[in-house]
Chains A and B, each alone.
Chain A
Amino acid sequence: MISKSEDTQITSFLLDYSENQLSRAELQSFESLMDLTPELKREAMIGRRVHLALQSLPKKGVRSGFDQRMAARFAMELDRETAQQNRSRIVDRDLTVI
């Protein structure tokens, strides 16, 4: 029966193994453990493989013209903000007059 802390530790090892983050000593001891536990080895291999595959997905950047479209939307936001501030000023002024 694996305790929760052992399970957490094994998960950390699995992730570090998948991402090539283990030191040489850690790698050696983890490989020995994997040799004894085929299921762990399988899990480690899958983790590494899927991690690499996801990293290789093509990056999706913004389309051309994004800056102009963003600037237009931001300008509308600034107009909205200014209009809101003006409304607040008018209300404040009216309240002062009253």
Chain B
Amino acid sequence: MKSASVYELRQMSDEDVMEHLQAGVMEAFNIIVDRYKDRLHNFLYRYTHNHEDCEDLVQETFLRVYRSRQSYERIAKLSTWMYTIALNLAKSMYKKKQRMSLISIHADESDPDDREMQIQDTVILQDEELHLKLSVQELEKALQQLNDDFREAVILRDIQQLTYEEIAEITDTAMGTVKSRINRGRQQLQEIIGSYVKPETI
């Protein structure tokens, strides 16, 4: 393989960068980390609700990408492959935590985003009952209560903004099932939120 400068590597597609990593170019690893660290953190945070645990998972995802680099084949998008690794790690961590105790959603004091915040609802709804004020914490808490399959589909679509095809590949399910889970997940979220919104906020 022709050697490439860091500048050239930075211009390449994810899959080309990965090929360089497979060929032993270590700088390629840094580029993958740089491209995906925030995206993976944002994704994994919905499972950990804690920056420290989340960082561990992000680092572990990258290390697994490195260790399994030779098993990656270009037929899959690198991002899809990485999300699959991250999702599997998140699921096993989540199960472990659930066995220990229920995860409590509380504000992470080191995080300025973890505060009560009203999300502006820009959709004009006829049904007054739906005019519930959502807060970040309520949403995060509701996400935790969602059924596992619904949660991963909703997070990958609404938070990570992946395509249905990518979600189908990552979760190894049919596209119709993915769409149905997203729709049902959103409906269930509203039900959960509705169940703990105080009457005066309606």
Contacts and interface: CB of A to CB of B under 8 A. Distances in A.
B113 A62 contact: no
Contacts of A43: 183, 187
A73 B62 CA distance: 10
Contacts of B67: 77
Interface string A46-86: 11111111111111111100110110011001000000000
A69 B51 CA distance: 14
A18 B186 contact: yes
A57 B160 CA distance: 11
B165 interface: no
B37 A66 contact: yes
Chain A interface size range: 35 or more
A52 B122 CA distance: 8
Interface stretch (A7-15, A24-32, A87-95): A7-15
A61 B55 contact: no
B80 to A, nearest CB: 20
Contacts of A77: 63, 66-67
Contact of B123 (A12, A41, A48): A48
Nearest to B124: A45
Nearest to A78: B26
B121 A52 contact: yes
A42 B123 contact: no
A45 B127 contact: yes
B66 A50 contact: no
Interface in B147-198: 154, 158-159, 161, 176, 179-180, 182-183, 186-187, 189-190
A55 B156 CA distance: 11
Contacts of B110: 63
A60 B45 contact: yes
Nearest to A59: B42
Contacts of A74: 29, 62-63, 66
Nearest to B186: A50
Contacts of B113: 58, 60
B46 to A, nearest CB: 8
B59 A45 contact: no
Contacts of A12: 179
Given A51-B158, A53-B134, 6 more contacts: A11-B179, A46-B130, A54-B158, A55-B161, A60-B111, A63-B51
Interface of A: 8, 11-12, 14-15, 18, 41-43, 45-63, 66-67, 69-70, 73-74, 77
Top 6 closest pairs, chain A to chain B, by CB: A54-B158, A58-B113, A60-B45, A50-B186, A61-B38, A46-B190
7 contacts: A8-B180, A42-B130, A43-B183, A46-B187, A60-B42, A63-B110, A73-B63
